[in-house]
Homo-oligomer: A and B are copies of this chain.
């Protein structure tokens, strides 16, 4: 039914359409690729492919365009991820190596990815729950107010100002701080709730309200900030290729909607592998016409979060996938080293 030549035709159609952005016809196809058969034969194949739903024609008697299903087949079976050139690899490496802290790593990564793929890049901050507590700091601001700073082994720093129920002097704060660090240093963030559960009982009675308040904020911080933070870059690339003159608005909206982005990147996050979501496979309405290529990254074997790019369905999947995979690997390296 779908023999080898038909697959070759589909591949050729995808490749040509991606590079020219115009519906591709049977004649042009045999000219550009040496398929060894005549246009008429191709036409027959195309008719079959269309019936199967892999390609479609914008109007009667125009060339064919791949459908989402066609792209899917292309990605799954017809294409090979294209590795980056040596020069690109070196560029990535040196660019990422210059990062000074986690924020910087993320910022550089997202820019790099955007530039490399000429698409919109999206990077999720490392998920807290798979990291461990490196240090907890309590900084007295006034006598009824302290700042809680949480530092993790991935270099992430979270801060919250806490309004205390009563005035507390420095030494009590110092004591609480010491206690917190003693309990939690090196503790996995997902373990924190159970670890602190009975902590208030080990505290002098008069300190309990304060301790309870601090712990509740600490837990809140862990939960709320869980994986809330996502950054993107390269929105200008959306306006570049002639695609998206319509729908651009929706895409921009989705990009600013952290929740939507989260779901796009994360919904498949059980696997660290390269994930491609094509057009209508996408859960979000405004993102028909866009595809997402994402990969997990993390230090060592622990997966921390995901990153990827978002672009028109009509994108160069082999190259994009290569870039995303490479960047994910390099970021993992960098993070593992710090």
Contact = CB atoms under 8 A, between A and B. Distances in A.
B236 A160 contact: no
Interface residues of A, number: 34
Nearest to A137: B137
Contacts of A160: 100-101
Contacts of A238: 252
**Complex copy number for this chain:** 2
B137 A147 contact: no
A28 interface: no
Interface stretch (A54-62, A149-157, A260-268, A320-328): A149-157
B147 A139 contact: no
28 contacts: A100-B160, A100-B161, A101-B160, A101-B161, A102-B159, A103-B159, A134-B147, A135-B137, A135-B139, A135-B147, A137-B137, A137-B139, A139-B151, A147-B151, A149-B149, A149-B157, A151-B159, A155-B159, A155-B161, A235-B235, A235-B252, A235-B255, A235-B256, A236-B252, A236-B256, A239-B249, A245-B245, A248-B248
Interface of A: 100-103, 134-135, 137, 139, 141, 147, 149, 151, 153, 155, 157, 159-161, 233-236, 238-240, 245, 248-250, 252-253, 255-256, 338
